[in-house]
């Protein structure tokens, strides 16, 4: 008996007909779920159940940065509230990279964008996660069409590591020595509206929420961070004076070239204090900090080489 080789780990994403990234680590959701209505009829309380409306689960993807310029531009537009819906497709392949399933989606908005934990000790390639909310989906089995997925993890993807980063907060020294920044997620609320006889809802963007940023830095480098927090929490530093701006930079292996930058605006400090420590321990004493951020933006001018062009084309 001949068995058809299959692997659940080979995917390729395209947006509006253009490949977005040559490597997807995981894909989840994007399926249709029918909501059931239960109606009571007559004196005997007879119940009739039937499908009422359809909902589409969010489509979650975890992707590398090689050839991801189109995806980054879409994220940037969403954060700037220049919302656009996109059509796309996730192609699933077997062990030999032959296409087996085409999972198409239409009218999608970005619901969440997640960045990985940045840690100087990490040895893995960095991945971003996005949750997309489609307005329509279609799943097709494909066989014998000859389509094969492209190459997997490229050298460009390997160059973006969560171990190589630098944080800068204007006016306060010390953040550039952060050894760790916890993962964080930007959330876009999406309103679903049902109308007429359409079984699927129309979707529209609403609130946009930027998260707090937390991390750690060696106590010996945290003097100005602790002073800033003391001025805010104990000395009554005015809110307008307390807020500043900054950035998180993702660095190339040479630790000087900036591959990718997140600009941070309306930044304020919420917490700064020593992490738990033990006597006679040889670990570095560290200060944990937490910042609020009013707004973030992708700096497309700095992201050279991530998609094979001069910048990411934002």
Per-residue model confidence (pLDDT) at position 291 = 96
- Average pLDDT over the chain, rounded to whole? 81
Per-residue model confidence (pLDDT) at position 314 = 47
Torsion sign across C-alpha atoms 118, 266, 264, 185? positive
- The pTM score is 0.83
pLDDT digits (tens, 9 = 90+) for 159-188: 678 899 999 999 999 999 999 999 999 999
**Which of 31-40, 97-106, 134-143, 242-251 is predicted least confidently?**
31-40
Q: In DSSP terms, which residues pair with 37 in a beta bridge?
A: 50
Name the more confident of 237 and 17: 17
Annotate 143-198 with DSSP letters as a single string: -SS--B---SS-HHHHH--TTSEEEEETTBTTGGG-SEE--EEEEEEEEEE--TT-
Tokens 């908005």 correspond to what residue? 109
Per-residue model confidence (pLDDT) at position 92 = 84
Q: Which of 46-55, 166-175, 279-288 has the highest mean pLDDT?
A: 166-175
- Among residues of the chain, what percentage have pLDDT more than 70? 76
Per-residue model confidence (pLDDT) at position 150 = 61
Name the more confident of 188 and 282: 188
- Among residues of the chain, what percentage have pLDDT more than 90? 40
Question: In the structure encoding, which two tokens stand for residue 163, read together?
Answer: 């171990």
The two beta strands, 24-29 and 59-63, are antiparallel
Q: Which of 51-55, 100-104, 108-112, 140-144 has the highest mean pLDDT?
A: 108-112
Q: Are 29 and 59 in contact (CB under 8 A)?
A: yes
Name the more confident of 278 and 10: 10
Average the pLDDT over 191-213 and give the result.
86
Contacts of 71 (CB under 8 A, 6+ apart): 13, 15, 20, 21, 63, 130
Per-residue model confidence (pLDDT) at position 129 = 94
Indicate the pLDDT class of residue 253, thresholds 50, 70 and 90.
Answer: confident
Per-residue model confidence (pLDDT) at position 102 = 86
Q: Which of 18-22, 29-33, 48-52, 273-277 has the highest mean pLDDT?
A: 29-33
Average the pLDDT over 22-32 and give the result.
83
Tokens 């009739």 correspond to what residue? 48
Average the pLDDT over 220-246 and give the result.
87
């Amino acid at each position: 008996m001949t068995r058809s080789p299959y692997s659940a780990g080979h995917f390729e994403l395209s947006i509006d007909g253009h490949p977005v990234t040559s490597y997807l680590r995981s894909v989840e959701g994007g399926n249709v779920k029918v909501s059931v209505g239960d109606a009571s009829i007559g004196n005997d309380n007879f119940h009739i159940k039937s499908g009422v409306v359809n909902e589409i689960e969010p489509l979650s993807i975890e992707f590398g940065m090689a050839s991801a310029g189109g995806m980054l531009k879409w994220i940037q537009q969403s954060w700037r509230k220049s919302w656009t819906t996109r059509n796309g497709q996730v192609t699933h392949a077997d062990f030999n990279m032959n296409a087996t399933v085409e999972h198409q989606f239409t009218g999608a908005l970005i619901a969440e964008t997640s960045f990985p934990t940045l840690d100087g000790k990490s040895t893995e390639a960095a991945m971003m996660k996005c949750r997309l909310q489609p307005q329509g989906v279609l799943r097709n089995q494909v066989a014998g069409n000859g389509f094969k997925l492209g190459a997997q993890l490229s050298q460009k993807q390997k160059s973006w590591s969560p171990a190589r980063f630098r944080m800068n907060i204007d006016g306060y020294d010390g953040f550039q020595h952060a050894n760790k920044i916890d993962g964080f997620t930007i959330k876009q609320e999406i309103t679903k509206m049902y109308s007429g006889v359409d079984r699927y809802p129309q979707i529209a963007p609403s609130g946009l929420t930027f998260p707090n940023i937390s991390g750690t830095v060696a106590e010996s480098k945290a003097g100005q961070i602790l002073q800033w927090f003391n001025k805010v929490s104990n000395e009554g530093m005015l809110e307008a004076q307390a807020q500043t701006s900054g950035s998180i930079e993702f660095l190339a292996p040479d630790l000087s070239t900036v591959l990718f930058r997140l600009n941070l605006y309306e930044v304020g400090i919420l917490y700064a204090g020593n992490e738990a420590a033990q006597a006679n321990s040889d670990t570095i004493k560290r200060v944990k900090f937490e910042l609020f951020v009013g707004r973030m933006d992708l700096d497309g001018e700095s992201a050279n080489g991530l998609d094979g062009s001069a910048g990411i084309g934002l």
